[in-house]
């Protein structure tokens, strides 16, 4: 009998705007989300206020006033201004987030710190899995992991990426793969969403 | 039958704090410690007139429980008994405290809106919030609506400290809930207790501004009357007349049928009964809108019947 390992992997439902919201803000880590991010019948035009990332030096800082489409140079740039924006926001806002999993949960953290609850935001992670993997042995966080095994940049052990996600830390759990039998490593595979 | 453990309480003190408002101080009859209760909790007293639930204004295992009871004309007799008959030294049975109106632990701000005697849970809330140590202090804002003649009574009860946002307004008509709710920062939780009309207006204003349901909390006083109707209990095989000023639950209890209950205010769901026939008039805040529409369940503590006869699986 093969034991099925427990998983707390987040599940994402396609984004559908909440008709009861007073205001809506869509945040993306790219210009145009691919297919599947939105529920049937929903498209970008349903979100008059959209924040996206255009990683280009020509994106210049602009005043925050008013709804509309805004571009940011990086996720760090976007997250900083989102925290600033939410600090002045009032009840009735809904936040929709589309992008890579680390980005989506970074935005969720900023929103949570601003006082928003999970029923005030919708998250949708998409694209090839790119995970932040936290080493349980040395606490180092390895960004950009796409494979089932990764060498920890902190302590050098080979980590296997467990199917265990920390919503608080926005990391997946990495545990030494060959602790029982040193040197015995399974084949490396791509992570699957 | 009322769920849970029963307490035997002695009236240590019963004073009139204002015309029609009596403050009861209850202690354990045997002098033992009472169960603690978080702010917003209530207990249900067993009085000769029936069961009545009252919010605890303060609850301390050593010092006892305090509640403030308003004498109402259209009551089922509980408040009249407490005002006219109950005396210091009397012993009454009560449930242990239950809390269906607790402060939300993740709130960034508490917005409290009370009407009239709906002040009682707010008194418990603000006492708790004033006591919280600095790193855990959550700001609050309280708006109390009162009849013009009673504003000074509520000002005295609330006893606003310098810098606190505690406001007593004379009359509901002078108050714009939308303007207040539109100005609340993210993470605000709203608590309302008072007449049903006021709470409905507050809830409607919050919903129109896009507040999620999870941030809006209300506490009802319980049932008020309606048209009389006949209750048929299918399992017990009896018909009961429910009078104009009586609740279904009180009628069932008066007929000697054992029906579990807890909050008697349409909030906890313990008294829920399947409906076999007839059309209930839902007044609770427990059933979902789908469950209401199906007419297959009813909360006899507050709800009534639209049809002349309502048949319950009891």
- Residues of B near A (Cβ–Cβ under 8 Å) read 106, 108, 181-188, 206-207, 209-215
Q: What is the pLDDT along chain B (314 residues), one digit of tens a residue?
A: 455 588 999 999 999 999 999 999 999 999 999 999 999 999 999 999 888 889 999 999 999 999 999 998 766 688 999 999 999 999 999 999 989 899 999 999 999 999 999 999 999 999 999 999 988 899 999 999 999 999 999 999 999 999 999 999 997 666 889 999 999 999 999 999 998 889 999 999 999 999 999 999 998 876 567 788 999 999 999 999 988 878 899 889 888 888 888 888 888 889 999 999 999 989 888 898 889 889 899 999 889 899 999 999 98
Facing B108 at nearest CB: one of A93, A115, A120:
A115
Q: Inspect the interface and report whether the beta carbons of A89 and B186 lie closer than 8 Å.
A: yes
What is d(CA A110, CA A120) in angstroms, rounded to the nearest whole number?
Answer: 13
What is d(CA A103, CA A109) in angstroms, rounded to the nearest whole number?
Answer: 10
- What pLDDT does residue B159 have? 95
Q: At what angle do helices A101-113 and A75-87 cross, to 10 degrees?
A: 20
Q: What is the pTM of this model?
A: 0.86
Facing A114 at nearest CB: one of B186, B206, B212:
B186
Q: What is the number of other CB atoms lying within 10 angstroms of the CB of residue B256?
A: 8
Output B77 or A140, whichever has higher pLDDT: A140
Which chain A residues have a beta carbon less than 8 Å from that of B185?
89-91, 115
* Assembly ipTM: 0.85
Instruction: Report residue A153's pLDDT band, with 50, 70 and 90 as the boundaries.
Output: very high
Residues B129-181 pLDDT 10s: 999 998 889 999 999 999 999 999 999 999 999 999 999 999 766 688 999 99
- Closest by CA to B301, choosing from B314, B282, B288, is B282
Q: Inspect the interface and report whether the beta carbons of A116 and B186 lie closer than 8 Å.
A: yes
- Identify whether the C-beta of residue A69 lies closer than 8 Å to the C-beta of residue A89: no
Mean pLDDT (whole number) for A18-31: 91
What is d(CA B298, CA B247) in angstroms, rounded to the nearest whole number?
Answer: 12
- What pLDDT does residue A3 have? 61
What is d(CA A122, CA A55) in angstroms, rounded to the nearest whole number?
Answer: 24
- The CATH class given to the B6-99 domain equals mainly beta
Mean pLDDT (whole number) for A45-52: 91
Facing A90 at nearest CB: one of B106, B183, B212:
B183
Q: Inspect the interface and report whether the beta carbons of B210 and A115 lie closer than 8 Å.
A: no
* Equal fold, B109-219 vs B229-312: no
The terminus-to-terminus CA distance of chain A in angstroms comes to 25
Which chain B residues have a beta carbon less than 8 Å from that of A93?
186, 210
Mean pLDDT (whole number) for A9-35: 88
Which chain A residues have a beta carbon less than 8 Å from that of B113?
none
- The CATH class given to the B109-219 domain equals alpha beta
Q: Inspect the interface and report whether the beta carbons of A120 and B212 lie closer than 8 Å.
A: yes
Residue A179 to chain B, least CA–CA distance (Å): 40
Facing B186 at nearest CB: one of A18, A21, A91:
A91
- Identify whether the C-beta of residue A82 lies closer than 8 Å to the C-beta of residue A112: no
Which chain B residues have a beta carbon less than 8 Å from that of A115?
108, 185-188
Q: Inspect the interface and report whether the beta carbons of A89 and B181 lie closer than 8 Å.
A: no
- Identify whether the C-beta of residue A45 lies closer than 8 Å to the C-beta of residue A58: no
Residue B74 to chain A, least CA–CA distance (Å): 37
Q: Which residues contact A39 (CB under 8 A, 6 or more apart)?
A: A13, A14, A15, A16
Residue A68 to chain B, least CA–CA distance (Å): 20
Substitution target in A92, A108, A122 with the highest count of B β-carbons within 10 Å is: A92
- What pLDDT does residue A65 have? 62
- Does the CB of A178 have a partner CB in chain B at under 8 Å? no
Instruction: Report residue A4's pLDDT band, with 50, 70 and 90 as the boundaries.
Output: low
The per-residue pLDDT of chain A, averaged, comes to 90
Q: What is the number of other CB atoms lying within 10 angstroms of the CB of residue B107?
A: 19
The residues spanned by each domain of chain B are 6-99, 109-219, 229-312
Substitution target in B208, B210, B217 with the highest count of A β-carbons within 10 Å is: B210
Residue A86 to chain B, least CA–CA distance (Å): 8
Q: Inspect the interface and report whether the beta carbons of B210 and A89 lie closer than 8 Å.
A: no
* Fold adopted by B229-312: Ubiquitin-like (UB roll) (3.10.20)
Q: Inspect the interface and report whether the beta carbons of A120 and B209 lie closer than 8 Å.
A: no
Q: Inspect the interface and report whether the beta carbons of B215 and A117 lie closer than 8 Å.
A: yes
Which letter, b or e, does each residue of B285-314 get, where b requires 16 or more Cβ atoms within 10 Å of its Cβ? Answer: bbbeeeebeebebbbbbbbbbeeeebbbeb
- Does the CB of A114 have a partner CB in chain B at under 8 Å? yes
Residue B91 to chain A, least CA–CA distance (Å): 45
- Does the CB of A93 have a partner CB in chain B at under 8 Å? yes
pLDDT of A1 above 50: no
- Computed from CA positions of residues B83, B87, B88, B91, in that sequence, does the dihedral angle turn out positive or negative? negative
């Amino acid at each position: 009998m093969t034991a099925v390992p427990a998983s707390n992997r987040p599940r994402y439902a396609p984004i559908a705007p909440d008709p009861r919201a007073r205001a809506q803000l869509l945040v993306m880590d790219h210009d145009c989300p691919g297919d599947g991010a939105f529920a049937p019948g929903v498209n970008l035009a349903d979100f008059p206020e959209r924040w996206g990332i255009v990683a280009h030096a020509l994106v210049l800082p602009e005043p925050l006033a008013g709804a509309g489409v805004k571009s940011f140079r990086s996720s760090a740039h976007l997250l900083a201004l989102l925290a600033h924006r939410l600090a002045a926001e009032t009840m009735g806002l809904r936040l929709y987030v589309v992008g890579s999993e680390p980005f989506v949960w970074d935005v969720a953290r900023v929103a949570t710190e601003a006082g928003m609850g999970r029923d005030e935001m919708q998250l949708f992670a998409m694209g090839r899995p790119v995970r932040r993997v936290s080493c349980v042995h040395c606490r180092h966080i390895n960004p950009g992991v796409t494979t089932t095994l990764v060498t920890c940049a902190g302590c050098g052990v080979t980590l296997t990426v467990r199917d265990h996600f920390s919503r608080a830390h926005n990391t997946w759990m990495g545990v030494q793969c060959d602790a029982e039998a040193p040197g015995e490593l399974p084949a490396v595979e791509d992570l699957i969403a | 039958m009322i769920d849970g453990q029963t307490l035997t309480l002695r009236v240590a003190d019963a004073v009139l704090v204002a015309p029609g408002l009596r403050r009861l101080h209850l202690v354990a009859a045997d002098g033992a410690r009472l169960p603690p209760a978080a702010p917003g909790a209530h207990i249900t007293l067993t009085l000769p007139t029936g069961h009545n639930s009252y919010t605890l204004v303060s609850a301390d295992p050593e010092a006892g429980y305090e509640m403030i009871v308003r004498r109402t004309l259209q009551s089922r007799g509980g408040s009249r008994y407490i005002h006219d008959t109950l005396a210091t030294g009397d012993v009454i049975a009560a449930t242990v405290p239950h809390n269906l109106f607790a402060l939300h632990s993740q709130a960034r701000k508490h917005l409290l809106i009370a009407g009239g005697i709906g002040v009682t849970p707010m008194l418990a809330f603000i006492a708790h919030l004033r006591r919280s140590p600095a790193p855990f202090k959550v700001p609050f804002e309280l708006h109390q609506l009162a009849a013009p003649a009673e504003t000074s009574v509520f000002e005295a009860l609330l006893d606003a400290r310098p810098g606190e946002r505690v406001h007593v307004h004379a009359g509901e008509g002078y108050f714009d809930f939308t303007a207040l709710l539109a100005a609340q920062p993210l993470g605000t939780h709203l608590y309302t207790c008072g007449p049903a009309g006021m709470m409905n207006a507050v809830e409607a204003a919050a919903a129109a501004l896009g507040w999620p349901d999870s941030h809006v909390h209300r506490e009802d006083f319980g049932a008020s009357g309606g048209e009389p109707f006949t209750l048929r209990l299918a399992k017990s095989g009896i018909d009961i007349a429910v009078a104009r000023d009586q609740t279904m639950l009180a009628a069932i209890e008066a007929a000697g049928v054992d029906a579990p209950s807890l909050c008697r205010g349409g909030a906890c769901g313990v008294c829920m009964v399947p409906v076999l026939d007839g059309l209930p008039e839902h007044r609770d805040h427990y059933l979902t809108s789908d469950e209401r529409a199906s007419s297959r369940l009813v909360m006899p503590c507050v709800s009534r019947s639209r049809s002349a006869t309502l048949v319950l699986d009891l």
